[in-house]
């Protein structure tokens, strides 16, 4: 039941970039000072992120996007998710981050996308184990793409 709803929400927001499904910031549910996933991508064109991912990877490569609100990057970049858990922040009961960490260590992604203010500490080992390096310029502060050199 969650997948059709998530796909419908993605299609609504993808087709109407100015549409916000809620008004105002969404408090991060863990109360750890991080901003919401939606706030992290508020003024960001996801197609730009997807273009950078596509340029840094090959067709058939699998990637991981660390933002529950930016899942359209998979489709825009034409890359499949590296694991089963593409919405770990929405999974209950927590902590699904441990499952994501283990899954990505078993099958390392070709690229990982992170966003400042959005939880990504669970990805450190996967990024290091896969030998991924930042491919976004230091001047780009709204997101980071890590890929193989």
Of 33 and 83, more confident: 83
Q: Is the pLDDT higher at 86 or at 116?
A: 116
Whole-model pTM: value is 0.72
Confidence label for 67 from pLDDT (cuts 50, 70 and 90): confident
pLDDT given for residue 109 in this prediction:
95
Residues 99-138: tens digit of each pLDDT: 888 899 999 999 999 988 888 888 999 999 999 999 999 8
3-state secondary structure the chain: CHHHHHHHHHHHHHHCCCCCCCCCCCCCCCCCCCCCHHHHCCCCCHHHHHHHHHHHCCCCCEEEECCCCCCHHHHHHCCEECCCCCCHHHCCCCCCHHHHHHHHHHCCCCEEEECCCCCCHHHHHHHHHCCCEECCCCCCCCCEEEECC
């Amino acid at each position: 039941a969650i997948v059709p709803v998530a796909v419908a929400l993605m299609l609504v927001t993808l087709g109407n970039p100015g549409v916000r499904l809620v008004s105002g910031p969404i408090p991060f549910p863990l109360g750890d000072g991080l901003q919401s996933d939606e706030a992290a991508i508020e003024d960001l064109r996801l197609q730009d992120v997807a273009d950078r991912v596509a340029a840094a990877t090959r067709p058939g490569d699998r990637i991981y996007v660390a933002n529950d609100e930016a899942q359209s990057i998979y489709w825009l970049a034409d890359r499949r998710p590296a694991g089963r858990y593409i919405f770990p922040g929405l999974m209950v009961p927590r902590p699904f981050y441990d499952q994501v960490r283990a899954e990505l260590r078993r099958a390392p992604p070709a690229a990982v996308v992170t966003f400042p203010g959005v939880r990504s500490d669970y990805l450190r080992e996967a990024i290091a184990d896969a030998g991924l390096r930042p491919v976004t310029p230091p001047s780009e502060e709204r997101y980071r793409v890590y890929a193989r050199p």
